[in-house]
Amino acid sequence: AAGLIEFWIDRAYLEEGRGWLGQALAGSNNSASPLRAKALHGASYLAGAQGDYAPCEALGRESLEAYRALGDQEGAGRTLHLLAQVADARGDPERALPLAEQSLALARELGHERGVIVSLRHLGSLARQAGEAERAATLLEEARELARSLGDASALAHVCTDLGALALAGGDGETASRLARESAGLHKGIGNTAGLASSVHLLGLIAEQEGRAERAARLFGAAESLRETAGSVLHSSGEADYRAAAARASAALGQDAFDTALAEGRALPLEDALALAASDAGPGTSRGNEPEASA
């Protein structure tokens, strides 16, 4: 079960992974073995990806204790990153920051390049949330270059989404859209439905900012459907931006029209959702007065 953790994560088979790891852990003793530490870490990650934060944190802390008892600094660093993500997802970036910094320091010390990428990504996200755009860009660009040098398509896809969100926050919708589409293409190639949902959701935020409220609603609906398929959730750090964008789109269209467009997006088959994400009808002249997005 532990050997399949990365497969379950990359393909977003979250519920299946949690089921097998739960059975494996229930049938094992509590000794600090390398295999148990890895299984605990994987079970923690999958729980967090589904928004189940209490068991995520409990399993993560148990994993961290096991890795430290084993003297496994790389495992400890990866778990510190996971605990930082949980703190951030639960709306506590101040607790997340030192954990993410510790994780990055350990990954650099050990030369664990993938660990460096994920820690840089999280620190970049925290910097963006704090309004530190220049620092966020520096961290995320380093992560992108490292992912490219390693040929790590999964890491590159996630970094592109992060950079797209940063570009959008800075008002650069064109760059944000290009990065979101690059991310979507990479996630599609890997088969990561949860990652694809993040890319489509970002394209919805971009459309709303450009005044294309109907397109935004459809993309939000498509992203919701993809998250349901993957069993993933929109974490709290992104909920405020989504609620604000959805409220503006709803006001522009009227609640009934917004709900209709959202439902249309949710009902799209995967290939049609991808076609909608890949299309670009161009910004409308005003909110609620836009050309139909081609799907």
pLDDT in tens, 188-238: 999 899 899 999 999 999 999 999 999 999 999 999 999 998 888 887 667
d(CA 21, CA 207): 39
Q: Which whole number is the average pLDDT over 127-155? A: 96
Q: What is the DSSP string of 200-237?
A: HHHHHHHHHHTT-HHHHHHHHHHHHHHHHHHT----HH
- Look at residue 284 and tell me whether its pLDDT is greater than 60: no
The predicted structure's pLDDT at residue 218: 97
Q: Which two tokens stand for residue 134?
A: 């220049």
pLDDT band at 290 (very low <50, low <70, confident <90, very high): very low
Q: Which residues contact 61 (CB under 8 A, 6 or more apart)?
A: 83
The predicted structure's pLDDT at residue 230: 85
Q: Which whole number is the average pLDDT over 19-30? A: 91
- Look at residue 282 and tell me whether its pLDDT is greater than 70: no
Residue entry with tokens 């076609």: 275
Q: Cα(first)–Cα(last) distance of the chain, in Å?
A: 40
Q: Which residues contact 88 (CB under 8 A, 6 or more apart)?
A: 96, 122, 125, 126, 235, 237
Asked if residues 78 and 110 have their Cβ atoms less than 8 Å apart, the reply is no
Q: Which whole number is the average pLDDT over 43-58? A: 93
- Look at residue 283 and tell me whether its pLDDT is greater than 50: no
- Look at residue 292 and tell me whether its pLDDT is greater than 80: no
Asked if residues 200 and 162 have their Cβ atoms less than 8 Å apart, the reply is no
Please state, rounded to an integer, the average pLDDT across all residues of the chain.
90
Model's pTM, two decimal places?
Answer: 0.82
The predicted structure's pLDDT at residue 16: 94
**3-state secondary structure at position 289:** strand
pLDDT in tens, 237-252: 678 889 999 999 999 9
pLDDT band at 33 (very low <50, low <70, confident <90, very high): very high
d(CA 131, CA 137): 11
d(CA 85, CA 236): 11
Q: HEC profile for 149-167?
A: HHCCHHHHHHHHHHHHHHH
The predicted structure's pLDDT at residue 238: 76
pLDDT band at 285 (very low <50, low <70, confident <90, very high): very low
The predicted structure's pLDDT at residue 237: 66
